[in-house]
Chain A
């Protein structure tokens, strides 16, 4: 597997300390994580942000289900000799992290679900566009992913336009990858059961203006997770859309660091 998986280590390949694994979402790659990943890698954590199969620089066809992606992720960690890790996932990556946490039990020390929703039904029009007209699918995703201010106003990184960056990143993935990812999100039915099996501390970060996975849909996930309410923290970022790492990377970093250092 190691021959085919690309892992971004935030410029600190030799870092030691508790492991934090970042899992990107549909049609993306590791680079969505670079700011929080770099910060944690410089603050006592060993950071890994893999490209899922078929994404970024990882070879192979995309995996067909969230369960398969979770198994792949756990196998990757085992291969890296990692016995315990905190998993942080965005969007589809949050489902992968959730499923992996349920499968792995105590090996997952903490679970951060960013821009999440369980279940995660995907609009049929978007799934069809991902198959038939990628540019249209990318435009739809951007429209639903960025808050109104982020679509036209000031960006988080001076001189860069996150919405165009998102279009270009999605366009770089091979034909069929986004479609497979969206189908996997849509088909994943085991999320609430998985949530009920999670025993580690959980953080949910949501964007107040998220139209892709709106915060108002978080009720059943919260219920499933909060059998032990002291272990669940929910943080809402004002004025933020679904593209949380792109819109408010520093606030996300603060939230992650604050949460992760509490256990």
Chain B
């Protein structure tokens, strides 16, 4: 039994967080395209600023459309609440800066989305926050990387693009034994397939740009707080347990032991860094979430078909998809994601970079672009695009080769997808000097 409520994920995806509005009874979520909100009187204005009354003040801090999205994703994930932000990158940045400042340290899986890798490797060190990267499948490596100044453990449910499955229960135990929280990027699995908080994660983030939206029209990010981590008992999070001068000496963990993280992230992080989400994007992402359960089932079915087809093809050296028995994390995936492990996969073409180029350029249905999780099928060559800043050694460690191609399998008719892939594979074979 999930402890979120008695409702299932399809129902929550359609209803959670929204009540028909009091004025018109609108069934769909209205788009509150407004920067600010008229106060009924001066007393209410002051009380809203001082967190003595509920209600919105300014759309950088909160917005009624965004609130529906936040509450809906929190319900799907089993969290006490969420914050909608401008992008997945903003969600990761908000999580880290809420928990630590200069001197802080993160232990992260080295199988990460390239953008997260950039933020942790190149950008945050300029602000005094450093990261150690570890093999996500090696518990001893996670433990060994912990330092007195570590404040967060971080990994992806499905490491992009090698598709390593994060052993959330094991890494959560390592984190909790050290008095630290675990943040999980759940972008590639979505709550339709995996709810990390139920497995021990404390914080969850999404690039809502991907499966949650599903349509590929809106960039957005979400940060969810499970409400499970005891900041006071840990004693390592003065941002949450000591008076904050920037908000009338509020002690967030005293104000709300279960929502302290969200309070600080909104009252400081959104207020000062300002990476808020447009209500238009929030609306579009909500439209996507309404059909998330249905879409993920179809994504998984199509991905299985594609993975099996590729694995059986002579021009393919290997396929990385945890749904296949040969994947290193197949058993773990079956345990954590019994309904399937998403629709992103990568595979290695015989013939290296040349074959990869020919393959991608011969495809007609798969769009060559830098995204995943669209309803439409997508393809990219990570070594020359999303992960181009990585050294050859880092690429190898992240499981990316010269001939690695990443697919995000969409919702098209499976026969059409296979025909398109066969066209690409034939072109790859010609480029590699083989007859298809």
Contact = CB atoms under 8 A, between A and B. Distances in A.
Contacts of A34: 51, 255-256
B52 A35 contact: yes
Given A138-B3, A165-B81, A159 B67 contact: yes
A160 B64 contact: no
A172 B253 CA distance: 13
A163 B262 contact: no
Interface stretch (A76-84, A86-94, A106-114, A146-154): A146-154
A4 to B, nearest CB: 16
13 contacts: A11-B249, A31-B254, A34-B51, A35-B51, A152-B12, A154-B17, A158-B62, A158-B70, A161-B80, A164-B5, A164-B78, A165-B81, A250-B53
A144 interface: no
A151 B17 CA distance: 9
A249 B54 CA distance: 8
Contacts of B258: 31, 165, 168-169, 172
B210 to A, nearest CB: 21
Interface string B247-275: 01110001111110010001000000000
Given A57-B232, A153-B17, A39 B52 contact: yes
Interface residues of A, number: 40
A47 to B, nearest CB: 11
Interface in B168-208: none
A58 B249 CA distance: 22
Interface string A240-259: 00000000011001000000
Contacts of B62: 158-159
Nearest to B233: A172
A161 B7 CA distance: 14
Nearest to B4: A164
B67 A165 contact: no
B227 A38 contact: no
Interface string B51-66: 1111110000011101
Nearest to A32: B256
B5 A151 contact: yes
Nearest to B15: A152
A161 B75 contact: yes
Interface of A: 8, 11, 29, 31, 34-35, 38-39, 41-42, 56-57, 135, 138-139, 142-143, 149, 151-161, 163-165, 167-169, 171-172, 249-250, 253
A39 B80 contact: no
Most chain A CB within 10 A, of B50, B53, B68, is at B53
Nearest to B250: A11
Contact of A35 (B11, B53, B64): B53
A117 to B, nearest CB: 24
A189 B3 CA distance: 33
A136 to B, nearest CB: 8
Contacts of A56: 257
Contact of A168 (B5, B53, B54, B228): B228
A35 B79 contact: no
A39 to B, nearest CB: 4
Nearest to A149: B19
A250 B54 contact: yes
Contacts of B11: 152
Contacts of B259: 160, 165
Contacts of B242: none
A143 B1 CA distance: 14
B271 to A, nearest CB: 14
B422 interface: no
Contacts of B56: 158
Contacts of A57: 232
A34 B253 CA distance: 12
B52 A38 contact: yes
Contact of A139 (B1, B52, B256): B1
B262 to A, nearest CB: 7
Q: Which 5 A-B pairs have the closest CB atoms?
A: A153-B19, A160-B81, A158-B67, A168-B227, A38-B52
B6 interface: yes
Contacts of A156: 54
A31 B255 contact: yes
A153 B262 CA distance: 20
B179 to A, nearest CB: 16
Contact of B5 (A31, A160, A163): A163
B53 A152 contact: no
Nearest to B232: A57
A2 to B, nearest CB: 17
